[in-house]
Structure formats: C-alpha cells, structure tokens
A = this chain, B = another copy of it.
C-alpha cells in the first residue's frame, strides 16, 4: 500500500494542524518544521508528514509544502486557521463572561467546542459579548474577515512568570551558543513554563519544560536572547 494522499474534508484534526502552523509560523509566516508541529500536536513526526502531504494536494490546498523544507499556510488554510482561533477566543470569552467559568477552565472547553460551533453560534455569542477584541487571556480575537492584529511572538525575557508558552523561533547565533541551547533541549515547538526569576539580570530567566516538572532550566541572557515565544493555549 503506497503513499496515501487523498483530498480530505475539514475535520477536527485538520483544524488543529492548521492552527498549529498558524501559531508556530507567527506573524512572519515563516515555514514551520515537522518537528515543531510534532511537538506541539503531540503526534509522531511521520504523522505530520502524512497530513501535510494530504493538505498540500487537496482540491483546495490548505498548505504550501516542500519535502524537507517545512510548511506554510495557503490563503485558504490561513483563513480556516484564523476562523478556528476566532471561535476559540470567542468561546473562551463567552465562557468567562456569560457562564462565569473560572479562567483556568476556559481553554480546555474552548479547545473542544471550537471545531463544532456554527457560523450562527459564532455570530450570536460575538453579538452577546459586544464584539470583543480580546479574550480573557488578553489575546486578540481575529475578525470575521480573518484579520488578526499582529503582536503574538514575544521575547522569552518578556514572558510572565508562571506563563505557559511554546517556542516560536530561535534566532541565528554562534555555534557554541547553539550547542549549549541544544543541550537544554529547547527547540521550536517545545512547550515550557516560566518560573519566578532567580537573578536580577535583565534577560535571564528560569523555565521548565512541560511534562518535565523536575528539570528547571536556567537561561542566561545570552541563551534567552533570541528565543521568541508564543503563549501556549491558542
């Protein structure tokens, strides 16, 4: 049974891939690597390749994909991804404002419901909320037309202690720094939580990787410098 690469409808899975590509690609729309996606989505890299191939050759292609060179959203893919993000953030706002959810519970609920609400539902909660511009976490809600105010990726040194983030990009740097970074296991797509500051140094920061609470990692200004992050929990 050779390579499967058929067209495929909009499914929950597809939605999640598109959303991940949107977030990891950031406002710059850089190409996103399979590994970054695999990390973020929690699936095997092989599954990523498979899905990207399908998305790229669908009747209405959702991504631009080249072997070994990562992916980028197509206009259609971007439109869909932004729609899902809009759903997510509107639902979070709705749960928080109208149903009095505790803030820490809005994400998981929205994460499920975002795939299944209709246009009408979207429109009705937006109206009920007075067409809000940001969600309860302070993140911009894309417009109905698929515009999202830039912002998003920030420097690791700007992260709030306690916040959960995903590494968005790791800037160019010398070989030695690169090696030290690599030793920490920090790569694009890795999820991390920022710990309270332990040093007064401007850009130094303590983090721990999601799922490995025992391993705190201290980053010098040099290491933290070019790491840009996005809040986890789009």
Contacts and interface: CB of A to CB of B under 8 A. Distances in A.
Interface of A: 95, 98-101, 105, 108-109, 112-113, 116-118, 120-121, 124-125, 128
Nearest to A12: B116
B113 A101 contact: no
A128 B95 CA distance: 12
Contacts of A124: 99-101
Per assembly, the copies of the chain total: 2
A155 to B, nearest CB: 35
A112 B125 CA distance: 17
B113 A99 contact: no
Nearest to A113: B116
A109 B105 contact: no
Contacts of A113: 113, 116-117
Contacts of A95: 121
A98 B124 CA distance: 10
Contacts of A98: 98, 128
A100 B124 CA distance: 8
A120 to B, nearest CB: 6
A116 B128 CA distance: 22
Contacts of A125: 99
Given A98-B128, A109-B117, A112-B118, 18 more contacts: A98-B98, A99-B121, A99-B124, A99-B125, A99-B128, A100-B124, A101-B120, A101-B124, A105-B120, A108-B118, A109-B118, A109-B120, A109-B121, A112-B116, A113-B113, A113-B116, A113-B117, A116-B116
